[in-house]
């Protein structure tokens, strides 16, 4: 089995945006890290993690991402590095009707391990091959590390295994409290789907206010990244998406599902460009939301902002 994928790892949506932006050559070079095995250097990283963002499609076809926390060791990698094993007995309380509630063998899942204290992250996309009592085995389809850009450094203050009971509220329209949570956020995670059904979770970050709410829709800038355009490539073919915003102060997480409209004009007309010079952004129109309290995102240190955060993200697009 290959350490890196020998064929072009990108689908037509990703390739189209790579060509449009003039970043195809950089994408091909950076795409060499994409593998059907978890990288050898990431095995110990996975075993040490306490935080994972994971997504699967629910029975309505929606992509609901959720942030979960467990004791170090709840995730481990098979000896041949082709499978990821999750021990759900070592994960804190799961939200009712969450993405893992009715998981089945054969389901696609997307996962992101992120260590905020070191700005390290690893994406693992695959399919469920075995379900046992409290255990999930995922066959790796794609695994690769991602760059540390736009991650705000944070250190957990407490034991991730000591969580409060889960409480959930749901709705369709954003109220002022939720809009304020979004516009105060410096971190969010985006779930998207590729043309072959595989799922993906990516990270987005910036200074508070980098995501704006206008008339009930979210406006999200697309900063310069690794040139692969995995998320935008997915969204160009399938505009359905799921977002989750962690509130590191209260422990809430706000998950939303909806549709995305891409804007890739690359026309920068102002020195106060909120896209950091790319001229790219997307509009997310939420259809449903879920707020979960008692979640694993409270009890963190104050953020150390990423030095890559554009400084003009509060300007209008």
- What pLDDT digit, counting tens, does each position of 210-267 carry? 999 999 999 999 999 999 999 999 999 999 999 999 999 888 999 999 999 999 976 7
Instruction: Note whether residue 313 is domain-resident.
Output: no
Instruction: Give the whole-angstrom CA distance, residue 90 versus residue 133.
Output: 12
CATH of the domain at 246: 2.30.110.10
**Residues 305/208, Cβ–Cβ less than 8 Å:** no
What domain range includes position 179? 12-293
Instruction: Note whether residue 203 is domain-resident.
Output: yes
**Residues 190/201, Cβ–Cβ less than 8 Å:** yes
Instruction: Note whether residue 244 is domain-resident.
Output: yes
Instruction: Note whether residue 1 is domain-resident.
Output: no
Per-residue pLDDT tens over the stretch 63-81: 999 999 888 999 999 999 9
Instruction: Note whether residue 304 is domain-resident.
Output: no
Q: How confident is the model at residue 5 (pLDDT cuts 50, 70, 90)?
A: low
> H or E element: which one contains 120?
strand 120-132
User: What does the mean pLDDT of the chain come to?
Assistant: 91
The Cα-based distances of 196 to 3, 129, 238 in angstroms read: 22, 17, 11
Q: How confident is the model at residue 1 (pLDDT cuts 50, 70, 90)?
A: very low
Instruction: Note whether residue 311 is domain-resident.
Output: no
CA 161 remoteness from chain centre: 22
Number of domains in the chain: 1
**Residues 167/292, Cβ–Cβ less than 8 Å:** yes
Instruction: Note whether residue 312 is domain-resident.
Output: no
Instruction: Note whether residue 126 is domain-resident.
Output: yes
> Has this prediction a pTM greater than 0.85?
yes
């Amino acid at each position: 089995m290959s350490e890196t994928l020998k064929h072009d790892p990108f689908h037509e949506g990703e390739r189209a945006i790579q060509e449009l932006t003039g970043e195809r050559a950089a994408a091909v070079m950076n795409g060499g890290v994409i593998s059907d095995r978890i990288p050898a250097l990431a095995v110990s990283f996975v075993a040490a993690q306490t935080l994972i963002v994971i997504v699967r499609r629910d029975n309505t076809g929606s992509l609901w991402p959720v942030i979960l926390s467990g004791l170090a060791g709840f995730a481990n990698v098979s000896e041949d590095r082709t499978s990821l094993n999750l021990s759900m007995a070592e994960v804190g309380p799961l939200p009712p009707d969450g993405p893992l509630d009715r998981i089945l063998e054969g389901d696609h899942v997307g996962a992101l391990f992120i260590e905020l204290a070191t700005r390290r992250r690893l994406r693992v996309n695959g399919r469920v091959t075995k379900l046992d009592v409290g255990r999930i085995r995922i066959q790796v389809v794609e695994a690769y590390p991602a760059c540390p850009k736009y991650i705000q450094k944070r250190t957990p203050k407490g034991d991730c295994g000591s969580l409060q009971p889960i409480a959930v509220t749901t709705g369709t329209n954003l109220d002022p409290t939720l809009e304020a949570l979004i516009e105060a956020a410096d971190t969010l995670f985006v779930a998207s789907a590729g043309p072959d059904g595989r799922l993906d979770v990516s990270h987005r970050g910036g200074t508070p206010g980098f995501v704006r709410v206008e008339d009930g829709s979210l406006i999200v800038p697309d900063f310069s990244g690794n040139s692969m355009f995995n998320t935008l490539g997915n969204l160009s073919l399938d505009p359905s998406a799921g977002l989750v915003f962690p509130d590191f102060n209260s422990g809430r997480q706000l998950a939303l599902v909806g549709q995305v409209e891409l804007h890739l004009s690359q026309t920068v007309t102002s020195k106060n460009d909120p896209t950091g010079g790319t001229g790219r952004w997307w509009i997310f129109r939420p259809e449903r939301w879920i707020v979960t309290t008692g979640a694993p995102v409270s009890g963190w240190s104050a953020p150390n902002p990423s030095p890559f955060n554009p400084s003009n993200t509060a300007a209008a697009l």
